[in-house]
Structure 1
Amino acid sequence: MREAIGRLAVADEDRTGYERGEFGPGWIDADHDGCSTRAEVLLAEAVTEPTVTGRCTLSGGTWFSWYDEQTVTATDIDHVVPLAEAWDSGARLWSRDMRIAYANYLDDPRHLEVVSQRSNRQKADQDVAAWLPVPSARCRYLTYWVPIKLTWNLSVDQAELRALNALAADCPNPQITYTPVL
């Protein structure tokens, strides 16, 4: 983990021109199986499986939001590294297609998480220097955040780097694996 943090590029963030729509129209059905990215994540992370009807319409089900240690029925899907944070950290230089791919990325289960609506709204578009999950989930959060940044070649600013290093000092030092997209 600590070595992986050291591989992150450090740069000032730039939110110039950011609009959520720069990451596409929302959830897509990349594999054309009738389920949107949102539905795919909900199905993968369900504690109690929802009922699936028609073209992947979900009802019922429960999920565990590890950000705040709550079992929930009303959920959000969180981009662990928020879209705005990705933009600030380099995604503004990507093609629209690459940003849509980022917003709907299912190849790494750490990228998108089912979380409570409350925790998702509290987090909003903040990075690890400004928001963290409950203390018992912080090391896990770190082991998701760092490989996502490395996978997508996203930079960190100085405040984010300080926060990552401080968090890592209080966490185990697991092996971090990732497959670069860029």
Structure 2
Amino acid sequence: PEQRRDLANDPRNLQAVDGPTNSKKSDSDAASWLPPNKGYRCTYVSRQIDVKALYRLWVTQAEKDAMSQVLHSC
């Protein structure tokens, strides 16, 4: 429970976005959603990797592939 609370309140895991963007993202990972602002995708993916490493969260192969593709374009 403490780790869930910490993750939910971690500023690295929180993004200020408008309502429609938040609805589109929902609980999607990088394999199924990336920020519409392509210039922010490198930062977004890097933050996701930091958060996942910090909280020892798993990554699906599809998510890893999507993250790698974004990072190769940075």
Determine if the TM-score, normalized by the shorter chain, exceeds 0.5.
Answer: yes
Question: Which bin holds the TM-score, normalised by the shorter protein?
Answer: 0.7 to 0.9
Distance 1:117 1:136 in 2: 20
Aligned equivalent of 1:128, options 23, 30, 43: 30
- Give the superposed CA RMSD: 1.2
Distance 1:144 1:101 in 2: 15
1:161 paired residue number: 64
Paired-residue identity, %: 36
2:40 paired residue number: 137
Structure with bigger helix share is 2
Would you identify which runs of 4 or more consecutive aligned residues in structure 1 move more than 2 Å? none
1:94-113 equivalent positions in 2, closer than 5 A: 96-105=1-10, 109-113=11-15
Per-residue displacement from partner, 1:116-142 (whole Å, max 9, x unpaired)? Answer: 111110000000000001212111111
Which structure exhibits the higher relative contact order, with contacts defined as CA atoms closer than 8 Å and separated by 6 or more residues? 2
Code of the aligned partner of 1:99: R
**Number of residue-to-residue matches in the alignment:** 73
Structure with bigger strand share is 1
Work out which of the two has the higher radius of gyration on C-alpha atoms and give 1 or 2. Answer: 1
Q: If the length of structure 1 is used for normalisation, what is the TM-score?
A: 0.38
Question: Secondary structure of 1:142's partner?
Answer: helix
Structure 2 residue runs of 5 or longer lacking an equivalent are none
